[in-house]
Amino acid sequence: MYTIDVKLVGLATILFNTWTPEERESFQAGTSGQTVTEEERITIAAKKVYRNEGPNLILPEQNIIKMLLDSTKGAPKMKGASVYTRIKAMVFVEHHSGVFNATAFDDIYSRTGRQPPGPRGGPCIVRTPYLKEGWELRYRLNVFDKTFPPDILRAVHDYGGLYTGFCGWRPRYGRFNVADWVVDGYVTAKEDRQEKVKGKGGKR
């Protein structure tokens, strides 16, 4: 296994729209909730960010992996299994490593939308907290095939930063540049074969 420490810098605003505890409770109860005031709607919208026990905003591991899988079309071709299959099987985001450089969102973005189900639902106002462009996100990738070229993963990130993005209304929002990329423990396939030969006492 080898690791890659990644730092991303936002090219565009990133919009958060995770479920709040109130929304999840209403869904599980099979109700649509009660009529709330404008002030209460703003309070609910402010909870639509990702957090854990730490002080900073976070991005869950599954969001990062989703971005990678959706961006594999930007990767060079490889012999054998596809890049999509390799990433899905062998690349993992270290738990709780997706951390933003912010302890709170910048503001709440409002836009008109439609209530589900379907595109013909009643009109509504959608409110989502956001971080403005320039946000920073750090995480660590654990790559369980130590011969899987990190350049492939870098190409996936570069494509994802422009054409995939993170979170709500991507790729218009949530786009990024790769600012830091530190690889530790990678060996080429040739080096791996040589290590295995040495481990067998030089015999092929």
Strands 14-15 and 2-10, bridge-based pairing: unpaired
Q: Is the peptide bond before 117 cis (omega within 30 degrees of 0)?
A: yes
> If 0-12 CB within 10 Å is exposed, 13-18 middle and 19+ buried, where does residue 113 land?
middle
Q: What angle do CA 165, 108, 63 make, to 5 degrees?
A: 30
Q: Please, which pLDDT band fits residue 197 given cuts at 50, 70 and 90?
A: confident
Q: Is the pLDDT of residue 73 over 90?
A: yes
Angle, helices 61-70 vs 150-163, to 10°: value is 90
Question: What's the pLDDT at 37?
Answer: 82
For 111, phi then psi, to 5°, come to -150, 160
φ, ψ dihedrals at 141, nearest 5° = -100, 135
Name, in order, each residue with C-beta under 8 angstroms of 40's C-beta and a sequence gap of 6 or more. none
Residue 25 sits at the vertex; the CA angle it makes with 107 and 168, to the nearest 5 degrees, is 35
Distance CA 41, CA 22 (A): 11
Which has the higher per-residue pLDDT, 132 or 32?
132
Give the pLDDT band (50/70/90) at residue 42.
Answer: confident
Which of 159, 113, 139, 146 minimizes the C-alpha distance to 50?
A: 139
